[in-house]
């Protein structure tokens, strides 16, 4: 079908309500959903001799009038469906009340000043503050809520100069990954003229004298392709304060390596620039250094092969400390002398242990090391030779982050959070090891009414996998509990306990919240991650299905009361699970998911995910991908769970075409009465920086949808 016919079909649907119902024969006609007709085109692709149809290819053009008409038509159906759910408004009001609590970030210190962000509760974006001492009255340094009336411009990064006088900050509009960077005078609160564009996936690193900083950017894209065009050839620049971006100095690029990306760090002593080269999303890096004390020094390799992760902690003179999974899947700490960088000269400071090393920092001449023990945080303090000094007592099952600071600091701050513990900020005295509460929020609920337990289950191939089950105390195991099973399972990312007003509202409604720690994540190190990638990606779906089967077998819930959810790679997870086992779930919510596993690498940064997924360009990987690709495994005439697909018009990470094509295909395939709707947010992206108001609306729609689907 030509585009003119596509336009005609959409126009007919809009004008005359031309529709198709989901198999009305199997349905009470009163409850049959009616969807917009999605026109088909005769697109067929040849993958290594296999012909694959792609009838909704036209929906990949997010800018076309036809796609915009389709989005409007789908949103009309979705809002009408959600609008008649009686519980939705009460859920929204309760969410608004729960969300209305003070939230703080972990403070950092630079040039004798403290910096942290705070949200008074319902502010769309958190506000950045500074103070000269812990007893000082905080002063607003930057309020992102003033940058856009609807709160859709978010702070995307902040880096303060070593003297505490200037602050480079990035902003993101409507959730886009594209950032613009500006520079603010901290004393006056006024912006300088500096303005950098086309920055994406970048860190910034100041020189010791505060005269400029290093950052990464791409060439300016064409306007029409900026939200979907492929991102290759990142370059590392130096920006001198007070000069235009056109005068920025190219420090490092690799015209011979289009997939390489660059992260810049400068050492606290100001002597070295560290450049970490990445290739896709694999945690395998090369590390280069440049001696900043010599103006004409070259960028030279320190670790020159993509064989493992190397995350820089700090340096003491020419000795550089790194966490690495080189010869240690659960990570260890090594010291490398930059003058004798050969691996045979490396010194092991802290050996690999049975717990997964997640992060390390040098503060007060001590190594503060964060571990995951079965996906729960443990913190140990060691001396610089690796000897254990103490373990930091934590208040329960939860996750820590923070520990910002420098080698000479006598204090640091960290956050602790759990499923029923709102994120609390602690101060740690490095000399005594004592912790004290710095900021603790008050949320309108009783944490003692809930319990968190960890359960191990056996996956299809015999692997033991953990999950957290959180609910009100005294849960009746009668199979009737509405349950929301959440997972991710990819990119070495660990799913650890964390507080969320959204999940609290679900449990108040009588729901059980479950997080499964699937293979593909980082909970048990690199071997756990690799066991859920490429040709072994099916393990991730088997683990998730195994979690669901355990919950049903042990009468926590039953298929008609079980919903699954996940975002991004977790959206792929939900799409694969619901197409492989439609009988096992009562509802599914795939959010901003990667649904077309044959074409994901053709948009924005999608090519970078081939390190986890593989690529349809490779014959063996194509065979694995096509077996689980959610879009390609929807079968006409199947009864799928009640499904709400969610995406956003400015998602330039996982482009909305994934969700558009999946929803159109699922609507056409669905048998029985279960709805298949798509919720398309406007002026929103992949999730980062989403305004509080938009978050509340989205969660109200999610729990409202599930309250109807699971007959709560």
Give the integer Cα–Cα distance in Å for 374 and 495: 11
Q: Is the distance from CB of 210 to CB of 161 less than 8 angstroms? A: yes
- What is the overall mean pLDDT for the chain? 93
Structure-model confidence comparison of residues 14 and 339, the more confident one: 339
Closest of 573, 582, 569, 589 to residue 628, by C-alpha: 573
Adjacent-strand bridge partners of 315: 320
- Other CB atoms closer than 10 Å to residue 25's CB: what's the count? 8
Residue 501 in this model has a pLDDT that exceeds 80:
yes
Residue 107 in this model has a pLDDT that exceeds 90:
yes
> What does the block give as tokens for 230?
């492929």
Q: What is the arithmetic mean of pLDDT over 559-588?
A: 98
* Nearest-5° Cα angle at 655, 654 to 659: 90
What is the pLDDT at residue 174?
77
In angstroms, the Cα distances linking 441 to 102, 131, 416 are 6, 20, 12
What is the pLDDT at residue 362?
97
Give the integer Cα–Cα distance in Å for 502 and 652: 25
> What does the block give as tokens for 683?
């002026």
* Nearest-5° Cα angle at 590, 589 to 591: 105
Q: What is the arithmetic mean of pLDDT over 196-223?
A: 92
For tokens 């007709």, name the residue.
37
What is the pLDDT at residue 686?
66
Q: Is the distance from CB of 433 to CB of 381 less than 8 angstroms? A: yes
User: Over 386-427, what HEC string results?
Assistant: CCEEEEECCCCCCEEEECCCCCCCCEEEEEEEECCEEEEEEE
DSSP string, 437-453: EEE----SS-GGGEEEE
What is the pLDDT at residue 684?
63
> What does the block give as tokens for 613?
């997924």
For the stretch 298-356, pLDDT in tens is 999 999 999 999 999 999 999 999 999 999 999 999 999 999 999 999 999 999 999 99
239 has catalytic annotation: no
Structure-model confidence comparison of residues 538 and 63, the more confident one: 538
What is the pLDDT at residue 22?
41
Q: What is the arithmetic mean of pLDDT over 380-400?
A: 97
What is the pLDDT at residue 30?
54
Residue 574 in this model has a pLDDT that exceeds 70:
yes
* Nearest-5° Cα angle at 251, 246 to 256: 105
pTM of the model: 0.91
Position 8 confidence tier, pLDDT thresholds 50, 70, 90: very low
Share of residues in the chain with pLDDT > 70 (%)? 94
For the stretch 429-485, pLDDT in tens is 999 999 999 999 999 999 999 999 999 999 999 999 999 999 999 999 999 999 999
Give the integer Cα–Cα distance in Å for 585 and 576: 12
Position 545 confidence tier, pLDDT thresholds 50, 70, 90: very high
Residue 2 in this model has a pLDDT that exceeds 60:
no
Q: Which residues of 176-215 are buried (b: 16+ CB within 10 A; e: fewer)?
A: bbbbbbbbbebeeeeeeebebeebbbbebbbbbebebbbb
Give the integer Cα–Cα distance in Å for 232 and 607: 9
Going by their DSSP bridges, the two strands 260-266 and 376-383 should be labelled as: unpaired
Give the integer Cα–Cα distance in Å for 566 and 64: 29
What is the pLDDT at residue 33?
87
> What does the block give as tokens for 476?
């009746």
DSSP E strand boundaries for 568-675: 587-591, 642-648
Give the integer Cα–Cα distance in Å for 352 and 332: 5
* Nearest-5° Cα angle at 87, 85 to 89: 95
Directed axis angle between helix 65-83 and helix 692-709, to 10°?
Answer: 60
Residue 19 in this model has a pLDDT that exceeds 70:
no
Q: Is the distance from CB of 350 to CB of 370 less than 8 angstroms? A: no
DSSP state, 584?
A: G
Instruction: Check 161, 568, 629, 707 and give the catalytic one.
Output: 568
Closest of 354, 379, 375 to residue 366, by C-alpha: 379
Instruction: Check 239, 361, 658, 686 and give the catalytic one.
Output: 686
User: Over 171-199, what HEC string results?
Assistant: EEECCCCCEEEEEEECCCCCEEEEEEEEE
Give the integer Cα–Cα distance in Å for 143 and 146: 6
Q: What is the arithmetic mean of pLDDT over 44-68?
A: 96
Residue 23 in this model has a pLDDT that exceeds 50:
no
- Other CB atoms closer than 10 Å to residue 65's CB: what's the count? 12
> What does the block give as tokens for 43?
């697109």
> What does the block give as tokens for 670?
């669905």
Number of residues that make up the chain: 712
Helix (H, G, I), strand (E, B), or coil: what is residue 243? coil
DSSP state, 600?
A: G
Q: Among 24-28, 180-184, 192-196, 258-262, whose mean pLDDT is lowest?
A: 24-28
Helix (H, G, I), strand (E, B), or coil: what is residue 687? coil
What is the pLDDT at residue 264?
97
Dihedral of alpha carbons 527, 528, 529, 534, sign: positive
Closest of 78, 70, 76, 73 to residue 41, by C-alpha: 70
686 has catalytic annotation: yes
For tokens 């502010």, name the residue.
123
Adjacent-strand bridge partners of 24: none
For the stretch 504-517, pLDDT in tens is 999 999 999 999 99
Helix (H, G, I), strand (E, B), or coil: what is residue 13? helix
Query: Domain 87-96+445-709 falls in which CATH fold?
Result: Rossmann fold (3.40.50)
Helix (H, G, I), strand (E, B), or coil: what is residue 642? strand
Helix (H, G, I), strand (E, B), or coil: what is residue 315? strand
Position 228 confidence tier, pLDDT thresholds 50, 70, 90: low
In angstroms, the Cα distances linking 681 to 79, 199, 335 are 11, 24, 48
In angstroms, the Cα distances linking 593 to 135, 570, 571 are 45, 7, 4
For the stretch 614-654, pLDDT in tens is 999 999 999 999 999 999 999 999 999 999 999 987 767 88
Label residue 122 left, alpha or beta by phi (over 0 means left) and psi (-120 to 50 means alpha): alpha
Give the integer Cα–Cα distance in Å for 106 and 85: 39
Closest of 583, 492, 607, 489 to residue 538, by C-alpha: 489
For the stretch 89-101, pLDDT in tens is 999 999 999 999 9
């Amino acid at each position: 079908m030509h585009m003119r016919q596509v336009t005609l079909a959409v126009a007919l649907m809009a004008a005359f309500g031309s529709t198709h119902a989901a198999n009305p024969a199997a349905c009470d006609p009163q409850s049959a959903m009616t969807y917009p007709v999605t026109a088909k085109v005769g697109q067929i692709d040849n993958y290594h001799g296999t012909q694959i149809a792609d009838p909704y290819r036209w929906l990949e053009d997010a800018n076309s009038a036809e796609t915009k008409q389709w989005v409007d038509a789908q949103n009309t159906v979705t809002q009408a469906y959600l609008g008649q759910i009686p519980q939705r408004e009460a859920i929204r009001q309760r969410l608004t009340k729960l969300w209305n609590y003070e939230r703080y970030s972990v403070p950092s210190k630079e040039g004798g000043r403290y910096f942290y962000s705070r949200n008074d509760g319902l502010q769309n974006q958190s506000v950045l503050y500074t103070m000269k001492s812990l007893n000082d009255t905080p002063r607003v340094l930057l309020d992102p809520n003033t940058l856009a009336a609807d709160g859709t411009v978010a702070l995307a990064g902040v880096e303060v100069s070593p003297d505490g006088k200037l602050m480079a900050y990035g902003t993101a509009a409507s959730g886009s990954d594209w950032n613009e960077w500006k520079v603010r005078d901290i004393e006056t609160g006024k912006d300088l003229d500096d303005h950098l564009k086309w920055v994406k996936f970048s860190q910034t690193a100041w020189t010791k004298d505060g005269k400029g900083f290093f950052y990464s950017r791409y060439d300016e894209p064409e306007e029409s392709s900026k939200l979907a065009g492929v991102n290759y050839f990142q370059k590392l620049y130096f920006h001198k304060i007070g000069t235009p971006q056109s005068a920025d100095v190219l420090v490092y690029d690799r015209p011979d390596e289009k997939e390489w990306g660059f992260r810049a760090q400068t050492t606290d002593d100001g002597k070295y620039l560290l450049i970490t080269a990445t290739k896709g999303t694999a945690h395998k890096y090369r590390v280069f250094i440049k001696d900043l004390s010599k103006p004409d020094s070259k960028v030279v390799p320190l670790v020159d092969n993509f064989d493992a992760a190397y995350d820089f902690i700090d340096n003491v003179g020419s000795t550089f400390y790194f966490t690495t999974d080189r010869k240690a899947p659960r990570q260890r700490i090594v010291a490398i002398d930059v003058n004798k960088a050969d691996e045979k000269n490396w010194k092991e400071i802290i050996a690999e242990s049975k717990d997964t090393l997640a992060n390390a920092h040098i503060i007060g001449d001590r190594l503060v090391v964060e571990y995951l023990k079965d996906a729960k945080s443990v913190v140990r303090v060691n001396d610089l030779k690796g000897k254990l000094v103490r373990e930091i007592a934590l208040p329960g099952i939860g996750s820590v982050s923070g520990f910002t600071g420098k080698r000479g600091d006598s204090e640091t701050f960290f956050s602790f959070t759990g499923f029923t513990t709102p994120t609390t900020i602690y101060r740690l005295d490095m000399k005594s090891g004592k912790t004290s509460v710095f900021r603790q929020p008050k949320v309108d609920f009783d944490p003692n009414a809930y319990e968190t337990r960890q359960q191990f289950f056996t996956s299809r191939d015999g692997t033991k996998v953990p999950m957290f089950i959180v609910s009100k105390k005294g849960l009746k195991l009668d199979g009737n509990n509405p349950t929301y099973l959440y997972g991710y399972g990819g990119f070495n990312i660990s799913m650890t306990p964390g507080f969320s007003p959204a999940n609290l509202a679900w449990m108040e409604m009588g729901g059980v919240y479950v997080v499964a720690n699937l293979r593909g994540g980082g909970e048990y190190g690199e071997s756990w991650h690799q066991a859920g990638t490429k040709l072994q990606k099916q393990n991730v779906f088997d683990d998730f299905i195994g979690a669901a089967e355990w919950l049903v077998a042990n009468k926590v819930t039953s298929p008609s009361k079980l919903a699954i959810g996940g975002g991004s790679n977790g959206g792929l997870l939900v799409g694969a699970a619901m197409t492989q086992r439609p009988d096992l779930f009562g509802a599914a919510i795939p959010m901003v998911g990667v649904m077309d596993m044959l074409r994901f690498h053709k948009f924005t940064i999608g090519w970078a995910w081939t390190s986890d997924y593989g690529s349809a360009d490779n014959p063996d990987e194509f065979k694995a991908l096509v077996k689980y690709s959610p879009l390609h495994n929807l079968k006409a005439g199947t009864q799928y769970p009640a499904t709400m697909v969610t995406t956003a018009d400015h998602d330039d990470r996982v482009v909305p075409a994934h969700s558009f094509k999946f929803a159109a295909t699922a609507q056409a395939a669905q048998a029985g009465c279960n709805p298949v709707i798509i919720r398309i947010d406007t002026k929103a992206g992949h999730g980062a920086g989403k305004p509080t108001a938009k978050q509340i609306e989205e969660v109200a729609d999610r729990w409202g949808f599930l309250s109807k689907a699971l007959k709560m």
